[in-house]
Structure 1
Amino acid sequence: MITTKRIAVVTGAARGIGLATTQLFLEQGYEVLMVDRDAPELEKVAAKLENAYAWVYDISEPDNIAHLAQEVENQYGRVDALVNNAGVADFRPLEETTYEIWRRVMATNLDGIFLTTQSLLPLLKAAKGAIVNIASISGLRASTLRVAYGTSKAAVIHLTQQQAAELGEHGIRANCVAPGPVDTKLALAVHTPEIRAAYHDAIPLNRYGSEREIAEMIVFLCSEKSGYVTGQVIAVDGGFQSTGVGLPALRNLSVKA
């Protein structure tokens, strides 16, 4: 079956950035295949959205991805936008990061993006579609307790550039969004007031980003407005990646001046 409708596949779509991206795609007239392994939450949110459909798959499982790709081909015959957003976080010291933990993080954050993109390539070629991979500011600058998470996201950045270099001749663009601190439920749960204050101090815009702000960049990179943009890594982080030490003190000095 071939459709002329624009089809977006968004992984990790049950909540957070994935859900915000789904909602924005719908506003732009796409049909959205919402992929997530959390069946109850995915089905609950998808039921509230028109032209969005719950596809319960675990992208860390190769068999799941193969079945997903086959079903998309059978039902739609094309993918105009693939947003590889699904990911897992793990924050602990290097010496406490077991190989099992390392592999769990890599299986979703890196392997899942590689396999999902590879499996959907024929459908992306059919539509000359766009790929947006979601990394993190942790893939651009190191921090404590992120040996597995940060390394996986750094690898996603390079994988994106490899995809752009190889797939451009097929009309496929691949870009990467690296969010900084974002006001998600997860961040609210794990970031203490002290941590939030420290982030605010270190971010030039002096605040966390919103899920919608990240989604705006993702959907832009999938649109014709970014038709000559590929292989890029865009930090949507309020300027966090651009700054070094001393920002709070310098900000105070500028206020006094």
Structure 2
Amino acid sequence: MISKKTVLITGCSDGGIGSALAQLFHQRGYHVFATARDTTKMSALKELSDLTQLTLDVVKSSDIQAAVEQVSQRTGGKLDCLVNNAGRNHFMPILDEDLDLVKDLFQINFYGPIALTQAFAPLLIPAKGMAVYITTISGYLNVPYMGKTDFGTLGTYAASKRSLEIVADTLRLELAPFGVDVLEVVTGGVKTQGQTYFGDFKLPPDSLYKSQEAVIAGRAQGRDGFPRIEAEDYATTVVDEIDKRTTGRIWCGNNADAVRLSMTATAVPQSVMDAGAVMGCGLDALGK
């Protein structure tokens, strides 16, 4: 039976935020349940003691139930922290979206974390634990056709993540009577492998934005000219706040503070905000 603090983290594949969080939690003395759809992609965690790797696809109820059973057996029915990190990035103008892909996106980024929270609540409550949601600045600024940039995003990806924040805000109130705290981590630019997934990005042949395909692809592939913080530094900030039992919302990552401040700058006209959002997106060229 595990006697130390425990944390389950989704989306722990190599080179990502989840892997960095798992390594730091391990250093802090937690027993880590690191999960991914494919455990062979968690090689950075393979040799760590007091770390259990689990196969977990957040859209598969059978995987979720199996994870709950395995954690419960190892911990005596308790879990100190659930970190909902797994998610899918996405880049596409809304007019070009494949709605079946959009539904899949919401299954992973929105419905999956809800399903995980429902399933693990019976373990979090006796531990008086924490539920943590990794979200993004993309839900606060509308940068055209982007799945994710340092200055935020617009469209389906942003909608899926902002929707999750609304759910987390509600859960913070609904779980409080049971001693469970909720934390949202609004994430800015972090160095991960996420940008490597869009090497063959293409717009549909009939896209209205075809002339700007190179611009969109460049942003999708991380060639946007904006710096990103190291995943290890990001993990340190997040785990520090979890250890302090911080609730509500924190902002972490490159440009996160700038976006946070812009949200409180109510005197800034929408036209000014929009002008900053479209900068470098190629829409000015389309208008001409």
Give TM class, smaller chain. 0.7 to 0.9
Q: Which residue in 1 is equivalent to 2:183? A: 175
Q: Matches of 2:219 and 2:172 in 1, distance apart?
A: 40
Q: Matches of 2:66 and 2:223 in 1, distance apart?
A: 45
Q: Which residue in 1 is equivalent to 2:208? A: none
2:232 to 191, 195, 212: 212
Task: Work out whether 1:110 is the aligned partner of 2:127.
Answer: no
Cα displacement string for residues 5-58 of structure 1 (whole angstroms, at most 9, x for unaligned residues): 11110100122100000011011100100110023212x333222211210110
Cα displacement string for residues 81-104 of structure 1 (whole angstroms, at most 9, x for unaligned residues): 111000011211112212211111
Q: Matches of 1:96 and 1:124 in 2, distance apart?
A: 41
Question: How much has 1:189 moved relative to structure 2?
Answer: 6.4
Question: How much has 1:158 moved relative to structure 2?
Answer: 0.9
Task: Work out whether 1:166 is the aligned partner of 2:174.
Answer: yes
Secondary structure class of the residue paired with 2:82: strand
Secondary structure class of the residue paired with 2:115: helix
Instruction: Classify 1:113/1:196 alpha carbon distance in 2 versus 1 (closer, same or farther; 3 Å).
Output: closer
Q: Which runs of 5+ in 1 are unaligned?
A: 201-206, 247-257
Question: How much has 1:231 moved relative to structure 2?
Answer: 2.4
Instruction: Classify 1:75/1:149 alpha carbon distance in 2 versus 1 (closer, same or farther; 3 Å).
Output: same
Q: Which residue in 1 is equivalent to 2:251? A: 234
Question: How much has 1:214 moved relative to structure 2?
Answer: 2.0
Q: Matches of 1:95 and 1:197 in 2, distance apart?
A: 23
Does the 8 Å CA contact 2:190/2:253 hold for their aligned counterparts?
no
Does the 8 Å CA contact 1:11/1:84 hold for their aligned counterparts?
yes
Question: How much has 1:140 moved relative to structure 2?
Answer: 1.9
Instruction: Classify 1:142/1:7 alpha carbon distance in 2 versus 1 (closer, same or farther; 3 Å).
Output: same
Query: Partner amino acid for 2:89?
Result: A
Q: Matches of 1:56 and 1:196 in 2, distance apart?
A: 29
Question: How much has 1:136 moved relative to structure 2?
Answer: 0.9
Does the 8 Å CA contact 1:177/1:236 hold for their aligned counterparts?
no
Q: Which residue in 1 is equivalent to 2:95? A: 95
Question: How much has 1:187 moved relative to structure 2?
Answer: 2.9
Q: Which runs of 5+ in 2 are unaligned?
A: 148-154, 199-216, 263-272, 277-288
Query: Partner amino acid for 2:236?
Result: E
- With normalisation by structure 1, the TM-score equals 0.83
Instruction: Classify 1:98/1:61 alpha carbon distance in 2 versus 1 (closer, same or farther; 3 Å).
Output: same
Secondary structure class of the residue paired with 2:64: helix
Does the 8 Å CA contact 2:189/2:253 hold for their aligned counterparts?
no
Question: How much has 1:123 moved relative to structure 2?
Answer: 0.8
Does the 8 Å CA contact 2:125/2:178 hold for their aligned counterparts?
yes
- With normalisation by structure 2, the TM-score equals 0.75
Q: Which residue in 2 is equivalent to 1:253? A: none
Q: Matches of 1:3 and 1:126 in 2, distance apart?
A: 15
Q: Matches of 1:83 and 1:197 in 2, distance apart?
A: 29
Q: Matches of 2:165 and 2:193 in 1, distance apart?
A: 25
Cα displacement string for residues 132-172 of structure 1 (whole angstroms, at most 9, x for unaligned residues): 10111112222222422110110111111111111111111
Query: Partner amino acid for 1:152?
Result: S
Q: Matches of 2:135 and 2:219 in 1, distance apart?
A: 25
Instruction: Classify 1:155/1:62 alpha carbon distance in 2 versus 1 (closer, same or farther; 3 Å).
Output: same
Question: How much has 1:62 moved relative to structure 2?
Answer: 1.9
How many pairs does the alignment contain? 236
Identity of aligned residues (%): 26
Question: How much has 1:71 moved relative to structure 2?
Answer: 1.8
Secondary structure class of the residue paired with 1:183: coil
Instruction: Classify 1:69/1:231 alpha carbon distance in 2 versus 1 (closer, same or farther; 3 Å).
Output: same
